Amino acid sequence: MKKNKKLISKLVDPGIPYVGEMTGAAIASTVGFFVMGPTGAVIGAAGGKIVTDLFARAGEEMGKRYLSRRENARIGVVTIYALNRIKLNEETNRPLRNDDFFSPDSITNRSAADEILEGTLLAAKNEYEERKLKYYGNLLANIAYYPEIDRYQANYLLRITERLSYRQICILALFKRKSDYCLSSNFQELQKTLNPNELIVIREIEEIKISKLLKSINEALWGGGSSGNITPSELELSDTGNILYQLMNLDEIEKEQIDTLASILSDHI
């Protein structure tokens, strides 16, 4: 037990100062309790050992790698957010998945959980848009509570997350909340009012559509290649987009970020 706590502490310690700057002392306190308190105290007795062992193995693996100070900090931040999300899930009585997600397979002798955790930490290590780290952590933690997400879909969602910019994540949040805004229904006229920087938002939407995270109402009637119809008022999240929104807890994106995007995609009169 002491070895596991030491390994987890090494994983999260470099990120604590940065999380403190972003969200205050609450999350740092949560992680401190997880590391120093009894196993399972934060994540529930039933899954405590499973999750503790999982993060300890990741801590041991990351400890074998040469990482810069900033890379260690990014990994720490993602781990902190993941542990905090696990705590929040436990507090709402969401059950930890009880399928084979945490069981080693016969080919690699590694579990899907080990695979996804390592993949997420390595993605975070290289993530220069550090505002995304919170949502990597949410994705990582929530997959452990959704048995309908198998290892292949989990890996796919992780790859998509790596490709998305922070603003594209905000765009997904906007279209989930589109009923709160009056987005443009005349794309041709809208384009004429946008400056070059604002037009990049349109290009980012096109990329998201190509990734099949957004879809258009009556898509088949419009055509237009992979990006198709990108009239703002007619865009909505696809099934995959909704899954990603839920797993990443994109409802936590600040309203100010969404308002800024909505102002660009609304008619400028």
In 147-249, where does DSSP find H-type helix?
151-163, 166-176, 187-193, 196-210, 219-222, 239-247
- Of 113, 107, 87, 95, the C-alpha closest to 29 is 87
CB 124 within 8 A of CB 80: no
What confidence tier does 225 reach under pLDDT thresholds 50, 70, 90?
Answer: very low
d(CA 62, CA 42): 23
What confidence tier does 19 reach under pLDDT thresholds 50, 70, 90?
Answer: confident
Tokens of 196: 């070059």
- Of 25, 24, 76, the C-alpha closest to 55 is 76
pLDDT at 79 over 70: yes
Tokens of 133: 């780290």
What confidence tier does 16 reach under pLDDT thresholds 50, 70, 90?
Answer: confident
d(CA 129, CA 112): 26
Which residues is 235 bridged to in the sheet?
216
Tokens of 49: 């050992």
Lowest mean pLDDT among 20-34, 232-246, 248-262: 20-34
Residue found by looking up tokens 């069981």 in the block: 103
CB 161 within 8 A of CB 123: yes
Tokens of 255: 């309203």
CB 231 within 8 A of CB 187: yes
pLDDT, position 219: 62
Residues 6+ positions from 22 with CB-CB distance below 8 Å: 134
- Of 220, 119, 135, 203, the C-alpha closest to 169 is 135
pLDDT at 224 over 50: no
Determine phi and psi for 121, rounding to 5 degrees: -65, -40
Which amino acid, one-letter code, is at 115?
Answer: E
- Of 267, 195, 260, the C-alpha closest to 231 is 267
pLDDT, position 226: 47
What confidence tier does 33 reach under pLDDT thresholds 50, 70, 90?
Answer: low
d(CA 195, CA 34): 49
What confidence tier does 269 reach under pLDDT thresholds 50, 70, 90?
Answer: low
- Of 101, 89, 3, the C-alpha closest to 53 is 3
pLDDT, position 34: 56
Give pTM, 2 decimals.
0.88
d(CA 74, CA 58): 14
